[in-house]
Amino acid sequence: MVYLNGEFTPKNKASISVMDRGFLFGDGVYEVIPVYAGKIFRLYEHLQRLQNSLDAIQIQNPYSNNEWLDIFNRLLSFSSTANQALYLQITRGADVSRKHSFEALIPSVFVEANSLTPKSRTELETGFSAISQADFRWQRCDIKSTSLLANIIYSQQAKACHAEEVILHRDQLVTEGATSNVFIVKDSTLFTHPTGTNILSGITRDLVLESAKYCNLAIQEVAPTLTQLLSADEVWISSSTREVMPITKVDDQLINHGKVGEHWLEIYNHYQTLKHA
């Protein structure tokens, strides 16, 4: 079952207008929210980021936080799977003709829940590879927009290279991954690009920083250079579905001789306690 514009309906019965601006222009925003043991994780942080994205493109939030929660809970009740990922998307809605500028329309709302299987510690400890690429995305990466063409191109490149992620750099500074935030550790200090319009402010990014504080790891919200990335002691990526994942190879360069670092394990362990708190 999925939620579409006020109704719960089987996915194969759900349909929208061809004039929907989400379909025509990718004129919409989205969120992905993890659910662990039936509990929605960091719900209000995700709803706040949703509000920020909606405000940035002048779409009115169709629901209050309690109404969102009701929709999520009803959707989750259709499945007995303990760990799920909620996907929600709001588009500007359908107009009568195709034009770039917009009038006030009735937003289209779609929500679905899919099972989520985070990688186990043993799987993560094998390490993952990434490739680096110039960041050619637009300069409002803080908006969680459904217009994802650049991210699609990068993800396909990663797939072709059997890599987990593409790490992006703008003017030699590491911004983030195509679908994640990026961290490096050098001499026991954690570096990550500051929030702003060049990155999506990840909810997991905040959780990693919270975990780093707990673990007494020094934090610098300063973008590492590409050279610093390649000579880092540790490299991690983070996202709601991947949590915090160790990268042990970037392009042809092994990180920490291809071994997962000790700080990653500390952060991973603390993250697991936050998930189940």
Q: Where in the sequence numbering do the catalytic residues fall?
A: 144
Nearer to ligand PLP, 200 or 260 (CB): 200
**Do 4 and 16 contact (CB within 8 A), yes or no?**
yes
Q: Does 165 engage in binding with ligand PLP (CB under 6 A)?
A: no
Nearer to ligand PLP, 211 or 256 (CB): 211
* Residue spans of beta strands (DSSP E) within 15-146: 28-36, 39-40, 84-91, 108-115, 128-134
Residues 198-257, interacting with ligand PLP (CB under 6 A): 200, 202-205, 238-240
Distance CA 154, CA 159 (A): 9
Give the count of residues interacting with ligand PLP (CB under 6 A).
13
Q: Does 181 engage in binding with ligand PLP (CB under 6 A)?
A: yes
State which of residues 27, 165, 176, 234 lies at the interface with ligand PLP (CB under 6 A). Answer: 176
**Do 108 and 90 contact (CB within 8 A), yes or no?**
yes
- The torsion defined by the Cα of 189, 190, 195 and 197, in degrees rounded to 10, comes to 100
DSSP class of residue 53 equals H
Least distance to ligand PLP from the beta carbon of 150, Å? 9
Distance CA 40, CA 246 (A): 25
Least distance to ligand PLP from the beta carbon of 274, Å? 13
Least distance to ligand PLP from the beta carbon of 20, Å? 22
Site residues (vs ligand PLP, CB under 6 A): 32, 176, 179-181, 200, 202-205, 238-240
